[in-house]
A and B are shown apart, each in its own frame.
Chain A
């Protein structure tokens, strides 16, 4: 065993339009699995308030007949409600799993708030990114996370299947092995199946099967990884941030687009093995 990934805290940042129950659930589970604490941040997007103060600010919904005026009061009420909801969800879930937690609400932008809050050994949860334009935003945000963060969880905005598998992208080497072990730990903690996508030619396909593992897929190209993720409907995806897949913006965007599930990216070398 080459040592396991450890993290001390999970920070989840959500705004009025980026929250979801599934993201909260996965953050809480991640904290429970890593014996970490939980920090919830609700960010009132300052840019939206600025926009509401502009004389011509309007908003339009999907399928609506036309735009309507964007009012600051209405926006503030929406922030208040969302903050209350996030706090309540965190409290309930953390209490159920006996996790230490705290919560704060602040004004600014989410990524900046998370960046300034991030400490060494944190896993940062970027919530509400899924598909299309927002996948690009997610990658941009990912690049802004400080290097001392242990990992980043990029969560989709929509609720996913509760019984899907944990999918691990194994890019080979020791780092890949540790990613597989972390994925297995998550799968066992949640009593889910584990599927390993072995990407590249670095011996990933030769590993002995991990516990919980029900399937191992060989993916020679990024396209194959994307197709596999599209079909597997995972509960979450676990991968390494430093590997070739997420090192490249274009590839990262494609993978984030393909996975409708949260993607946990672990950074760099793990901590030294624990004495136990």
Chain B
């Protein structure tokens, strides 16, 4: 059996020598006095995998190969991505300029036109000049004598036509003594005598024949009058049509003369040529607008910021993307855009509105570009969490990438929250490489939960958070530190300070054989050390300044740690560091508060009696234990059953509890401690309280590595230190965690002085021997553990429980004797 190979050989392991407790960098091995002697290294070390992925993602031109860069915070993702992309982009051609112009056929659908770099601004300026020219030229043309004469002739002709018709009628009417009168109801014909309308009584006194004659004359004249009046609108229409034709003819002259140059300048673009033809037609058709605008502008206050009439905006050019033109064969480069606030509007652009007469209105000049417009043809870098947390931004980004076009829309429109005049601008073709930056958890969540994600972000750039600690890497780090010091204008660091920083980087990585790659916190540490060096009036940052920076950083954050230790010291939290107790052991836990973590001891107790093989995890029962903790308890239950109850049902009821723990407990790092407490309770062997224990356990009785080993050891050390180190105290850690040890100086010093001990433990048997001072015991040839050993005692107790349970069954005392006890 595998378990047989795990039996201790030669008793419990000795404590680790002090030099195994922390890997110290020797300043003399660095080969320099201060970092001023070093050439700066690039800010990215040990990220070959991520950089290779980034390079691949940026190079491949197929759709969907966008990049998601993930890694721990502070690993230099932003800097690395910015440097790499900017270097690539500088060698790439500048992309097209984009502008929006009016769509004369469908005003609500502004037209997007792409132009070679630098051309959009040039075109906008040319159009502005064209409109300015026409603002002067058109009114002048229509005030000129030629136009006035021709228009006067048309008016005169129309007037004459009307007058002639009226005069002829009036002459005939006068010949028949009939007057044409204007009344509020229109024209009327009246019989006259002596220039006056005949009065009714006079008319009625006339002979009937004369009355009928007058009526007949009037009826005839009225028919003529009717005919003339019915002709008037047609005459007026003809007059207006002639004026329109004259106006168009004159406008054509002005517009053709003004537009010749701009048409020649931009003849190379088919889209612009077509647009300019539309402008030409529209200008001729709307020449009146220039005349009205001239009047309106004249009435505006002199000195008002923009005296240009709003009606002329229809000929405006809204340049949404203007790239620099390459000059003399040099390339201006592709854009690299970082959008720190990726709202939907900031990504895809927006359509602004202005209030006019109480209503919100807009036009194509109010289209504002988004980051996708600016990055089109280049690279767009976004923070994944920010994109995901901005309403509609993620969907909008995916839609644009999937469609290969930027479509401007607003959340309000999508939700039908506003009802106002809006636009549907032409989509702009999109060719962009998007780089999302985020935590690994975000990446894995997106892969699992968003089916579009894998299709659109096919390249994963995984930034590591640690590198191997070897001579070459340490040298590279020294140069990195020199580079940061130079960039941030810090004092040079002495070799001792660099060595201290290197040690701290190992501690951050929780591994004596690794170095943290988190450049952000490293920079913060260097800045703080520089501050303390300045505070001390030093020219060079020394090791003591780094130590002070670390200590001050901890001091600022460790109020709760101090409070926790104080509660132990005052006996509020019960922790024994002396003596021996059955079923009680000091476990260790880690509390993380923001960026600061610290360890503290926790009393774990176990109680046992006869039962049906159930180990009750009280933390789980009250829902304070997490699933991993529960898993650890179940594993140790399985270990008990498989080791001691080989030929009988395990007849045990046991309870485990974290004493004075009122918050949640999770993780399995206390499972070995729980097992020790259980074995102590079953074997009735006391556990020495000057030890604390950490480590998880598997079903085979092996003690496995855990996290936060340094903080846990230091937590128990602080408790013991407060009470006075006795020389017996120490911590049992998994042997696999020895490589993770990067303990504080004072802990290492105490260990070196033999006043505190770190014991690496590989198996439960090793641990229980250390904790109890009693041999764990091995199975003899009879298949039994030797009596007097811990294992022998445990087995005997379990056999006794099993026998008692059998007796209960025979006596018919009930099948579940523990039920009454459990319910009590």
Contacts and interface: CB of A to CB of B under 8 A. Distances in A.
Interface string B15-48: 0000000000000000000000000000000000
A62 B187 CA distance: 8
B599 to A, nearest CB: 89
Contacts of B203: 54-55
Contacts of A48: 181, 183, 188, 197
A58 B183 CA distance: 10
B59 interface: no
Interface stretch (A70-78, A166-174, A181-189, A267-275): A70-78
Given A50-B198, A60-B222, A60-B225, A17 B183 contact: yes
B184 A51 contact: no
A51 B181 contact: yes
A47 B196 contact: yes
A52 to B, nearest CB: 8
B233 interface: yes
A62 B199 contact: no
Contact of A53 (B163, B179, B188, B200): B200
Given A50-B197, A55-B203, A231-B148, 12 more contacts: A47-B179, A48-B183, A57-B188, A60-B187, A61-B186, A62-B229, A64-B186, A68-B186, A70-B188, A78-B185, A82-B184, A132-B167
A63 interface: yes
Contacts of A70: 183, 185, 188
Interface of A: 16-17, 47-48, 50-51, 53-64, 66-68, 70, 74-75, 78, 82, 131-134, 227, 230-231, 257
Contacts of B187: 59-61
Contacts of A231: 148, 152
Nearest to B199: A50
Contacts of A53: 199-200
B166 interface: yes
B166 A132 contact: yes
B229 A60 contact: yes
Nearest to B156: A230
Contacts of B182: 17, 134
Interface in B173-211: 179-188, 190-191, 196-200, 203
Contacts of B148: 231
B754 to A, nearest CB: 108
Interface of B: 148, 152, 155-156, 159, 162-163, 166-167, 170, 179-188, 190-191, 196-200, 203, 215, 218-219, 222, 225-226, 229-230, 232-233
A17 B186 CA distance: 9
Interface centre among B152, B188, B218 (most CB of A within 10 A): B188
B152 A230 contact: yes
A97 to B, nearest CB: 23
Contact of B183 (A55, A59, A62): A59
10 contacts: A58-B188, A60-B226, A62-B186, A62-B232, A63-B230, A66-B226, A70-B185, A131-B159, A133-B163, A230-B156
A74 to B, nearest CB: 7
A68 B233 contact: no
Contacts of A257: 159
Interface centre among A51, A78, A131, A227 (most CB of B within 10 A): A51
A116 B167 CA distance: 30
Contacts of A56: 215, 218-219
Nearest to A81: B184
A10 to B, nearest CB: 24
